[in-house]
Amino acid sequence: MGKTTAEKIFDAHLVNEPFPGTKVLRLDAVLCHEITTPIAIDDLIRRDKDRVFDPTRIKAVIDHVTPSKDSKTATQAKILRDWARRHNIKDFFDVGANGVCHALFPERGFIRPGYTVIMGDSHTCTHGAFGAFAAGIGTTDLEVGILKGVCAFRQPKTIKFNVNGALPKGVYAKDVILHIIGKIGVNGATDRVMEFHGSTIGEMTMESRMTLCNMAIEAGGTSGICQPDMTTVEYLWPFISGDFASKEAALADYSQWRADADAEYDQTIEIDVTTLQPTVTFGYKPDQVKTVSEMAGTPLDQIYIGSCTNGRIEDLRIAAQILKGRKLAPNVRGILSPATPKIQQEAMHEGLIDIFMEAGFCVTNPTCGACLGMSNGVLAEGEVCASTTNRNFMGRMGKGGMVHLMSPATAAASAIEGKIADPRKYL
């Protein structure tokens, strides 16, 4: 019998199975940020275990609150910074070079097909876009990952999503994943890997695949996973051209991680995207979704474009295409947070930043800030935000605030009208 991608990765990284059903895996990448890592560092010091298993496999960034907003966040940043220096962690990204972890680390070529990746951040599932097994974990798992380079997992079952068809106008990866979460529910993939197949995914850029995999956790999924293909190779080529004689050779190597045709799945779900419409959440759970037509007219106070879900260059291009020559409605404020410095610079060179600023947007430095109500765009009680982020929990972007999740196109259209609006009329 064949294997799924996750099963192949588990087999290749298995250290041992201490108890039936629990597998301890060797890790290829341990990713760190300043919110969940400092407590792990403190605990390791307290236990007299201030060591790292391999500084080249550990990557760290200050991204949630940056530049630091107060003494507490400055202390968190300092703990991470001092630790990275102390242990010679070369891939550490500080103010000026830092950006949202799940956009920055892939951009640097740190994630490869077949990798095992953990981070103390639930949206680590993003990196499965490269054909990796990438899972969010807590601080204790992170601590053990830093110390020993291993992590224990229950062998997850896999749900196969066959996603087929050409995306209709105004419909993007974000709409596809919101639709899927709406279909299976917020715990529809708990203890499951969401493995994405089909022509729609084959046509998607790596950026779109990351958007898709980013929200696997919102359905409870352990990791989203896309199948490595030539798009994956092209994205990684600047980092791997020394390792392979040709792109074809890289593809042949990476194809070992593709699921076998006779792999066994927990479930197979067919998604026909040709009938999808721009999709928006309405409640406090990511599975509460409606079409933009049903939501049109909902009043707004803030528009937020950014985050590990939709702060990448193609997201900015799509939003700018709609905003070009137009203005924010007077009743709303707009905030753009490009996800990394590279994206911000590209957007500047392409003239996108001008378009956003002329429309009336505030452009911030790359940071997670507003998405989880920590900085740079926190909502007041009773305010409503149209947001390209991934979580609409009550109070997520500020106590008493309401969040409607949507694509960058829908957010841009909503910015112009000052209420939730259909992007298709602007495309």
Partner 1 sequence: MKTFGGPVLFLDRGDINTDEIIPAKYLTEITKEDLKPYILEDLKLPGFDAKGPKTRNARVIVSRANFGCGSSREHAPWVFEVNGITAVIAESFARIFRQNMFNCGMAAIELPKSDLDQIMSHAGDEDAVMDINIETGTLTMKGGGQQKSFSFEISPFDRALVLAGGWVDYADRKY
Quick check: 267 binds partner 1 (CB under 8 A)? no
Among 56, 75, 275, 345, binds partner 1 (CB under 8 A): 75
Q: Are 210 and 102 spatial neighbours (Cβ–Cβ below 8 Å)?
A: yes
Whichever of 76 and 227 has its CB closer to partner 1, that residue is 76
Torsional class of 131: left (φ above 0), alpha (ψ -120 to 50), beta (otherwise): left
Answer whether 360's CB lies under 8 Å from 327's CB.
yes
Q: Does 295 bind partner 1 (CB under 8 A)?
A: no
Q: DSSP string spanning 115-154?
A: -EEEESSGGGGGGGGGT-EEEE--HHHHHHHHHHSEEEEE
Helix, strand, or coil (residue 266): coil
Bridge partners for 157 per DSSP: 192
Burial (0-12, 13-18, 19+ Cβ within 10 Å), 18 = exposed
Q: Cis check for the bond before 38: say yes or no (omega within 30 of 0).
A: no
Q: To the nearest whole angstrom, how small is the minimum distance from the Cβ of residue 404 to partner 1?
A: 16
- Nearest distance from C-beta of residue 146 to partner 1, angstroms: 10
247 makes contact with partner 1 (CB under 8 A): no
Among 11, 88, 90, 140, binds partner 1 (CB under 8 A): 140
Least Cβ distance, residue 377 to partner 1 (angstroms): 13
Q: Does 64 bind partner 1 (CB under 8 A)?
A: yes
Q: Is 139 in the site for partner 1 (CB under 8 A)?
A: yes
The dihedral of CA 14, 16, 21, 26: what is its sign?
A: negative
Interaction of residue 48 with partner 1, rule CB under 8 A: no
Least distance between partner 1 and beta carbon 148 (Å): 5
- Minimum Å gap between C-beta 127 and partner 1 is 14
Backbone angles phi, psi at 158, to 5 degrees: -125, 135
Query: What would the x/- binding string for partner 1 be over residues 14 to 33, using CB under 8 A?
Result: -x--xxxxx-x---------
| SS3 call for 364 | coil
Nearer to partner 1, 193 or 236 (CB): 193
Residue from 3, 12, 39, 251 binding partner 1 (CB under 8 A): 39
Residue 93 makes CB contacts below 8 A (sequence gap 6+) with: 60, 61, 62, 63, 99, 104
Q: Does 382 bind partner 1 (CB under 8 A)?
A: no
CB of 100 to partner 1, least distance (A): 15
Q: What is the DSSP string of 240-254?
A: HTTT-SSHHHHHHHH
Distance between CA atoms of 375 and 65, rounded to whole angstroms? 6
Name which of 2 and 138 has its Cβ closer to partner 1.
138
CB 21 within 8 A of CB 154: yes
Q: How many residues bind partner 1 (CB under 8 A)?
A: 55
Residue 81 engages partner 1 in binding (rule: CB under 8 A): no
The 151-190 site mask, x for binding partner 1 (CB under 8 A), equals -x-x-------------------------------xx--x
128 contributes a contact to partner 1 by CB under 8 A: no
Q: Does 281 bind partner 1 (CB under 8 A)?
A: no
* Eight-state DSSP code of residue 372: G
CA dihedral angle for residue 210, residue 195, residue 216, residue 176, rounded to 10 degrees: 70
CB of 306 to partner 1, least distance (A): 16
Q: Which helix (H) or strand (E) holds 414?
A: helix 408-417
Q: Does 56 bind partner 1 (CB under 8 A)?
A: no
Shorter beta-carbon distance to partner 1: residue 73 or 200 = 73
Asked whether 183 and 291 are in contact (CB, 8 A), the reply is no
394 belongs to the binding site for partner 1 (CB under 8 A): yes
Task: Say whether residue 148 binds partner 1 (CB under 8 A).
Answer: yes
Does 150 help bind partner 1 (rule: CB under 8 A)? yes
- Is 141 an interacting residue with respect to partner 1 (CB under 8 A)? yes
Applying CB under 8 A, the residues found at the interface with partner 1 are: 15, 18-22, 24, 35-36, 38-39, 42-43, 47, 49, 64-65, 70, 72-73, 75-76, 120-122, 124, 136-141, 143-144, 147-148, 150, 152, 154, 186-187, 190-191, 220, 222, 285, 372-374, 391, 393-396, 399
